[in-house]
């Protein structure tokens, strides 16, 4: 979501030629006018330090909110490494080198990709199971609990129609693309995403994702088991610890 004046100028300039932009903010003389692409690097919220490896993003679509903010939809296309900071104000401009990327279609990569895909499916299903039980407890009454349980059965039967799983099914035979897709859904874990982005090999990236998803699955499996124990023994249920996977 874009709202700062300097970024409104930047993005209207980048989107020059697209419909419904603020023409008065477009810097026609800019070498970046109409390129519809920009770089993004992770910045540590505590230290303010910027990572040297980032992503080149292509602007896919945009819309203007009633309060003047711009909602921009982007798609990552390439990784790069910052080699030199050219200018810091009003917006950061850097010299970069594009990092080479090769599709890994080896049998080892495909086998690991399938393992990671299975882990993701299991994590997603366990996550939904835990959430359903929490909703059931919050609703309180027996009738509401029964309705929630019935809805849970229907949800479980419909798991494979989830948008996430539909996208996943299309990538299981494309290890490199799958490795980046898995990284993209970890939006709440920026440091983990950055570690994955800086990994040069598909195998290395998939191995790290298998570790992350394996730990998350063990957490949700334990949470589910504890919910069952406490539910059978009385009211209340186990709650995940603060800072656990979400």
List, in order of start, the domains of the chain with CATH numbers: 5-99 (2.30.130.40), 107-138+161-229 (no CATH)
Which tens digits make up the pLDDT trace of 66-105? 887 889 999 999 999 999 999 998 899 999 999 998 889 9
246 pLDDT more than 60: no
Using only C-alpha atoms, what is the Rg of the chain?
22
Percent of the chain with pLDDT over 90: 47
- Per DSSP (E only), the strands in 8-162 are 37-43, 50-64, 70-87, 93-98
Mind listing the pLDDT tens digit for each residue in 113-133?
999 999 999 888 888 887 877
Global pTM reads: 0.74
Answer with the residue of higher pLDDT: 54 or 221.
Answer: 54
Cβ neighbours around 149 below 10 Å, total: 12
pLDDT confidence of residue 37: 95
């Amino acid at each position: 979501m874009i709202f700062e004046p300097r970024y409104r100028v930047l993005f209207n300039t980048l989107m020059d030629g697209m419909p419904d932009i603020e023409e008065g903010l477009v810097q026609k003389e800019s070498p970046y006018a109409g390129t519809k692409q920009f770089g993004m690097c992770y910045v540590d919220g505590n230290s303010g330090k910027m990572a040297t490896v980032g992503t080149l993003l292509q602007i896919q679509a945009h819309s203007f909110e009633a309060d003047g903010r711009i909602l921009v939809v982007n798609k990552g296309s390439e990784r790069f490494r910052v080699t030199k900071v050219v200018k810091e104000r009003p917006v950061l401009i850097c010299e970069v080198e594009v990092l080479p990327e090769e599709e890994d279609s080896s049998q080892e990569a495909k086998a690991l990709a399938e393992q990671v895909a299975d882990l993701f499916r299991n994590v997603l299903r366990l996550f939904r199971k835990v959430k359903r039980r929490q909703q059931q407890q919050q609703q309180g009454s027996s009738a509401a609990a029964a309705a929630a349980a019935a809805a849970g059965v229907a949800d479980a039967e419909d798991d494979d129609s989830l948008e996430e799983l539909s996208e996943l099914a299309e990538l299981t035979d494309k290890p490199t693309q799958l490795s980046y897709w898995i990284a993209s859904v970890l939006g709440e874990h920026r440091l983990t995403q950055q570690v994955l982005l800086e990994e040069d090999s598909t195998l290395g990236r998939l191995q790290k994702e298998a570790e992350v998803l394996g730990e998350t699955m063990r957490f949700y499996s334990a949470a589910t088991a504890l919910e069952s124990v406490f539910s059978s023994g009385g009211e209340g249920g186990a709650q995940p610890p603060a800072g656990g996977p979400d």
